[in-house]
């Protein structure tokens, strides 16, 4: 009887750790296992439901930002513009990456802040070597790099818009700009 109770408690703790940890992409963890462990962003268990777009966030009011799919292209543009690079490390299977896109990166305030950066959406499944070099272990991860590719700041996990903007401003200060 106590073995069953111990197993039940262990399974409940494991589920809580997986839920609280977000998307992990550690060495030795397959993408399929991570897909199964990742809660869907609109799952009732997460309590997060995407808000409908507000007039402030309408695409017509916010021209599209250019996100480079290649870090090399982003670094080349950053060199030309003399700007920092924001890297959004994601995977298609990562539910929290989609929540970050919908709840944070699509807001008018965050989009306005991102205009001064060169942007890169790094697909960690397509570019595992770059992801490893940038020390991406959790998804989503936002990194700020200088134009040579040196990491200035890194933040793992979903963050709301106000925290995201504060992170970007802190990275700019850390870069001495």
Give residues with Cβ within 8 angstroms of 145, minimum separation 6.
Answer: 75, 78, 84, 85, 87, 134, 151, 152
* pLDDT at site 5: 61
- Tell me what percent of the residues of the chain surpass a pLDDT of 70: 64
What's the burial of 23, exposed, middle or buried (CB within 10 Å: 0-12/13-18/19+)? buried
Domains in the chain: ranges and CATH: 7-174 (3.40.30.10)
What is the rounded distance in angstroms from the CA atom of residue 120 to the CA atom of residue 149?
Answer: 12
Q: Label residue 153 left, alpha or beta by phi (over 0 means left) and psi (-120 to 50 means alpha).
A: beta
Task: Indicate the pTM of the whole model.
Answer: 0.68
Strands of 141-145's sheet in order across: 67-68, 118-123, 85-90, 141-145, 151-156
3-class SS at 152?
strand
Long-range contacts, 43-51 (Cβ 8 Å, 24+): 43/95, 45/19, 46/19, 48/99, 48/103, 50/99, 50/102, 50/103, 51/103
Contact 96, 155 (CB under 8 A): no
Q: Specify the pLDDT at position 6.
A: 61
Confidence of residue 11 (pLDDT cuts 50, 70, 90): low
Q: pLDDT tens digits, residue range 62-97?
A: 468 999 999 999 999 999 999 999 999 999 999 999
Condensed to tens digits (0 to 9), the pLDDT of residues 93-118 reads: 999 999 999 999 999 999 999 999 99
Burial class (CB within 10 angstroms; exposed 0-12, middle 13-18, buried 19+) of 25:
buried
Amino acid 34: pLDDT: 38
Per residue in 119-142, pLDDT tens?
Answer: 999 999 999 999 999 999 999 999
């Amino acid at each position: 009887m106590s073995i069953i109770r111990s197993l039940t408690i262990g399974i409940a703790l494991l589920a809580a750790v997986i839920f609280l940890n977000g998307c992990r992409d550690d060495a030795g963890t397959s993408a399929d296992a991570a897909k199964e462990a990742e809660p869907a962003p609109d799952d009732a268990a997460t309590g997060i439901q995407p808000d409908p777009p507000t007039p402030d966030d309408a695409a017509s009011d916010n021209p599209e930002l250019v996100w480079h799919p290649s870090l090399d292209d982003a670094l080349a543009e950053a060199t030309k513009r003399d700007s920092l690079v924001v890297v959004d490390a994601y995977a298609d299977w990562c539910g929290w990456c989609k929540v970050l896109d919908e709840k944070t990166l699509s807001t008018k305030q965050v989009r306005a802040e991102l205009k001064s950066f060169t942007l890169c959406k790094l697909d960690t499944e397509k570019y595992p070597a770059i992801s490893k070099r940038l020390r991406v272990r959790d998804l989503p991860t936002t990194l700020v790099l200088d134009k040579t590719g040196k990491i200035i700041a890194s933040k793992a996990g979903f963050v709301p818009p106000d925290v995201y903007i504060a992170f970007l401003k802190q990275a700019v200060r850390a870069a001495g700009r």
